[in-house]
Amino acid sequence: MGPISNPTEGAICACMYEDGQWYRAKLISVQSSGSWKVHFIDYGNYEVVETSSLRCLPAIHSLLGAQASKMMISDEYQPFCTAACWTLSHQRHILNNFQYIDVEMRVLSVLDDGVTKIECKDIVDSFIQNSLVRKSALEIHSKFKVGTEFEGYISYFTTEGVLYIQDANSY
């Protein structure tokens, strides 16, 4: 994998992560320092990296769709905090307790804007037991049909309440 000579927003490339491994990433925006904000499309996290951490990705690897689906906590569930926002404590709880753990989900409905509501009992129970939410349902922007049941792995959770889930059967 050779260096990228002219990185452009939206391009899919290989990017070295802090663990020293290469992962697929989408170039989001160039920063004033010349570094790049990237989205690790198979895991969901965003990072700012130096251009030297970017490499050309063989075309065949660019064809595979993102392995993590973007999910959000439904309006039914609100975090217990004054600003009704997700905090670093919420993020740490989810990542410490559910990251890469196999959890079952059930698709409940698909909304007009493409958001798919799902139910995930393990996550909801943990949120409630740990006073992280008042009540819950999860929403996912995804390719899943209503009534679909599947197993997945939580690969990332943001303080905006966004979950990234990898379908366990897509490997």
DSSP state of 79: B
Global pTM exceeds 0.85: no
Residue 81 in any domain: the answer is yes
Tokens of 154: 């939580």
Give the pLDDT band of residue 10 (cuts 50, 70, 90): very high
**Strand order from edge to edge, sheet including 54-55:** 46-49, 36-39, 22-30, 12-16, 54-55
Q: How far apart, in Å, are the Cα atoms of 63 and each of 59, 83, 86, 99?
A: 7, 41, 34, 26
Range of the domain at 39: 12-63
Three-state SS at 129 = helix
Q: Rounded mean pLDDT of 50-67?
A: 90
N-to-C CA span, the chain: 23
pLDDT for the residue 9: 96
Backbone phi, psi, residue 170, to 5°: -90, 5
Average pLDDT value for the chain = 79
pLDDT for the residue 39: 96
For 24-56, the pLDDT digits (tens) are 999 999 999 999 999 999 998 999 999 999 999
Domain count, the chain: 2
DSSP state of 86: -
CATH code where residue 59 lies: 2.30.30.140
Residue 25 in any domain: the answer is yes
pLDDT for the residue 138: 47
For 111-161, the pLDDT digits (tens) are 666 556 667 777 778 877 887 776 544 444 456 666 777 788 788 877 766
72 and 51, same structural domain?
Answer: no
Say how far residue 100 (Cα) sits from the centre of its chain. 12
